[in-house]
Amino acid sequence: MDIIATILMLCLIMQSIDCLPKPANHPASNSKKPIDAGNYLKKFGYMKPGRTESQAIQAFQNFYGLPVTGKVDDATKKLFETPRCGVKDPQEDGGRKRRSFSLRIVNREKRYVKSSYSWKPLFSRIGEKRLRWKLTSIGTQILGADEIFRILREAFAMWASTVDGLIFEEVGGGDDAELIIFFAANSHGDGYSFDGSGGVLAHAFYPYDVDAPLAGDTHFDDDEVYTDKTYVGVNFWLVALHEIGHALGLGHSKNRDAVMYAYYTGYIPGKSLHEDDVNGIRAIYGDGGDGGDGGGKGGKGGCKGKGKKAC
């Protein structure tokens, strides 16, 4: 057993993240941040022209199934302080703004939310449901490159299993790719700066116009301590699976058990796509595949390239 695995085991016993080894520039993950309600609501799409802060709080509470008080009560404050995805929550009056994280609620009776964007125009152009992806940086993460690549391959394979014919092809650093993935801290060139450990864990961009520069890209906050199959740190598998959902066109779900729920729920052994996630992705790209917990008859989606065996 290597030294990192030994330390992680001790962390599990001690139930303390403070013992987890971190690069010098990494504060402890999952730390609570003081929250300014107005800025928070604006950041995640709730503060709009003509809407008071109380009305924005009510909209937030309504979306997440909290008591609608219009005040930052204990339940609301607790959710505000929970680490989450940086993509804005669905808004009924959201517009089609290029490079924006906002989207419209397309089907209100469903708990999942699909955006107005997908890769279907590209698929029609190339004659197959194929997306290329590449990882360009692993930042200063404790997880090694092999582990990060393995987890990403497994996450792509799980989404591929939900839609018949959906293929994710892993390509090298010099090749073109629709989905570009990297780790970065603070400001990193896309206009959506990360905020240090805790708070926003990662964000991804919807497909939009398939030729938009940031369409489908996923960025992970390098100030987080990402881990695998342990209760300490931030579970990379869960966050990666969630962000890939955005890159495919899914918005946040109201269902707390869904992968596409905005807030980080912690490491859950055996976590897979929820039926809500599967229904959402199939609403965009059609049926097929085994879909994790969502059922199905088994599809022909999968992975190509360097990650083929891992998928």
Catalytic residue IDs:
243
CB of 178 closer than 8 Å to CB of 214: no
Whole-angstrom Cα distance, residue 259 to residue 252? 9
Work out the angle at residue 89's Cα, subtended by the Cα atoms of residues 30 and 94, and round it to the nearest 5 degrees. 155
Buried/exposed code over 58-95 (b: 16+ C-beta within 10 A; e: otherwise): bbbbebbebeeebebeeebeebbbbbbbbbbbbbeebe
Burial of 120 (0-12, 13-18, 19+ CB in 10 A): middle
Q: Please give the C-alpha separations between residue 166 and each of 145, 227, 283, 299, 301, in angstroms, as whole numbers.
A: 25, 28, 14, 9, 4
Pairing of strands 200-204, 218-221: antiparallel
